[in-house]
Chains A and B, each alone.
Chain A
Amino acid sequence: MLLRRYSKKFLLYASVIVVLLWTLAPLYFLLITSLKQYVGTITFPLSWLANPFTWQNYAVMFTNYTQDSISYRFLHALLNSLIASSATTILNLVLGSAAAYVLSRARMRGKNIITMIFLASNLLPTVALIIPFYVLTVTYLSGWNLYDTNTLLVIVYSSFSLGLVIWIMRGYFDSIPAELEEAARVDGASRIVSLLRIILPLTAPGLLATGLLTFLTSWDNFVLPLVLAPDSHAYNLPFFIYSLNGQYLHLNNEIAAGGLLSAIPPIIIVILFGRYIVSGMTAGAVKG
């Protein structure tokens, strides 16, 4: 019996260690690669310490700021990623939660169908939309000069998050009893005021979760900038990392450094707010 208990414990901790290794070993490898000199990445046998060591790969991302330098492109990409992701998040939260509120409260025929259409739109594959987006932007709408702008990216990213925001937020609004609002409105508050002052604070966890999800999805987007904004005006971090993989040298050490830097914001978000994101997803998209 004792033996069985110990072997069970052993099995438990062994599995924990295996999962930890599987999760962390690639990250560790990325970290040491980012701290190696280039020759260290093509040496056999491979060093599993950062050997020969250098900070240079991180330094180039921030110093020697001149036109076209790596730091120039990195900081541009960082700023573009921040702008596009934040703008998408704000736009989607404002539009999405407003729409979700109406779809939750209105006594309106077909509101379930509308919600479903929104949700379905969110599930379309990127390729199904990217070809028409591209053609429309460069031809019929070319006068608007949208190609290669953050504006275009924000609009297009929205097509891949608005549905989710509406779906999740509707779930939150549905869970708040209408009586709370009625009470406020009896006291003279208009619908908008009651929405802003009473309902929104109650749905804060939902807003946080959907906001972060939208931000993470936008931050991660690669295909859309690849096709719609490859130029220096709007290209984002994933595209920057991709283009570091130059035609004449694979600077794995620099790619690793840039990659880790661009992964830091989402990693922090996941560590700090992971629970909210999961509860948001389970409350909305994955009704459980």
Chain B
Amino acid sequence: MKQKWMQLLLGLSTVASLVAPASMANAATAPKVVLKVLYMNQAGYTTTVLRQMGKQFQKEYPNVTIQFTFLPYTQMHSAVLTSAAAPTAQYDVVLSDLIWTGEFGSRGYTLPLNSYIKQNVKNANQIPQSVWNGFKVGNKIMAMPFLANFQNFYYNKNLLKKAGFNAPPKTMTQWLHQMKVLKAKHIVQYPYEDSWLQAEGLVCDYVRTAGEFGNGNLFNANGQPIMNQGPALKALQWMRMLYADGLANPNSLTADEPTAANAFASGQVAFNTNWTFVTGIMDTKSESKIVGQGVVTTFPVAPGTNKATHSADISGFQGLAIAANTPANLRPWAWKWIQFATSPAVQAQHLHSQWPVWSQIANSPKEKKLNKWASVYQQNLNSVYNRPVIANYLQVSSIIQQYVHEAIAGTIPVKQAADEMVQQINQLKG
């Protein structure tokens, strides 16, 4: 007990010294470099992992001090914006979500990394092309891929067995059938829950569902929005149907990803389509009531589509980028850090926390031993669709969110919602 109090006191005094205006850097005699790094508070590569990487890096380059700033996702974008508005960058290296690629690239908030990558990155082709694509604006590569997040199809095998199914659905028709049986037999009230809260997660699920119906393109090759035709329209009809027929938990409309994961982990629903973090949660006793029941698999797809991959997924990649207003003398060091953190050697040390971007590690025996779903992961990663890479993505996304949400809830008929969505997006451009 006493020790704990001492700990607390110690902690408070450290805090006090931190809050007081610090001037550590000035006191140094050797030419030192302070690199300010903006990163997100998240699972997988957690803040702890990042600090470890930072320490390793500083061992290799003792003259560099890395100052981390960790923020929740909702604050990340505006923090990068702040930094870009300042004469000199507040953060030299920023974590870049792939949906910001278009904006950062076209407005020049971060630097293209082509020359760095060309000179320093060996075996760049070991990073799947789908991952590179997430960070490209034209030919410019705006960030070095750091982590490969994507979704998985999760199901509860006990619930499925109760309904008389021994295998997960392979096609959309099978999936629909299984959900109907689960509901008809009163095994669960709602077979499926997804994250359809009016937020970015909804766009991910929308693009992925469109992918399951053929392809996840919301824009055609000419940059015209095409939500009112083809797979994108089918996806909207599908989502509306699941909601209207009571196959998807109506709470999906207010659920973000963790909420949907909770529903799956509580055993209330049989299916969940969610990011890779669910794999960890579902088998953790303190977080789940379905330990040993959850299975990870590929996504069902409409017959005759996605022939090469037999799955259809959505990307949630994150890369590391150098801010455009990083002083010139810091840029080489910023790149050194990026190269270090994204290197296969470093990623191989943290396989237990995050799926690596490098294929040679993903396919390594070590990974297969660590992750019993490794081959499913690989298959899903190979089948990802990206959300559109456009300069005003966040504005477009907010329109998509609004109309998809209304279409699912039924306040606007599906076709009309899709048409209005297209019209609103076109107006943005005009």
Contact = CB atoms under 8 A, between A and B. Distances in A.
B is a partner of A: yes
Interface of A: 37-39, 42-44, 62-63, 65, 67-68, 71-72, 75-76, 79-80, 83, 134-135, 138-139, 142, 147, 150, 226-227, 230-234, 242-243, 245-250
A248 B354 CA distance: 14
Contact of B288 (A39, A44, A68): A39
B120 interface: no
A248 B18 contact: no
A246 B41 contact: yes
Contact of A72 (B11, B43, B259, B268): B11
Contacts of B261: 248-249
A169 B275 CA distance: 56
Nearest to A54: B286
Contact of B266 (A44, A135, A245): A44
Contacts of B16: 79
B203 to A, nearest CB: 16
A232 B22 CA distance: 14
B85 A139 contact: yes
B82 A138 contact: yes
Given A72-B11, A138-B82, A150-B19, A248 B4 contact: no
Interface string B269-290: 0000001010001000011110
Nearest to B10: A65
Given A135-B85, A231-B71, A248-B42, A65 B7 contact: yes
Given A65-B8, A142-B88, A247-B73, A42 B15 contact: no
A68 B41 CA distance: 10
A200 B206 CA distance: 64
B85 to A, nearest CB: 5
Given A135-B85, A226-B75, A83 B42 contact: no
Contacts, number: 107
Contacts of A79: 12, 15-16, 19
Given A79-B12, A246-B41, A249-B287, A63 B90 contact: no
Contacts of A76: 15, 18-19
A68 B51 contact: yes
B47 interface: yes
Interface residues of B, number: 47
A75 B12 contact: yes
Interface of B: 4, 7-8, 10-12, 15-16, 18-19, 40-43, 47-48, 51, 69-73, 75, 78-79, 82, 85-88, 90, 257-259, 261-263, 265-266, 268, 275, 277, 281, 286-289
Contacts of B72: 242-243, 245-247
Contact of B82 (A68, A134, A226, A249): A134
B226 to A, nearest CB: 30
Nearest to A62: B8
27 contacts: A42-B263, A42-B265, A65-B8, A68-B51, A68-B70, A79-B12, A80-B19, A138-B85, A139-B85, A139-B86, A142-B86, A147-B86, A147-B90, A150-B19, A227-B78, A230-B75, A231-B71, A234-B19, A242-B72, A243-B71, A246-B42, A247-B40, A247-B73, A248-B258, A248-B281, A250-B259, A250-B262
Contacts of A147: 82, 86, 90
Contacts of A138: 82, 85-86, 90
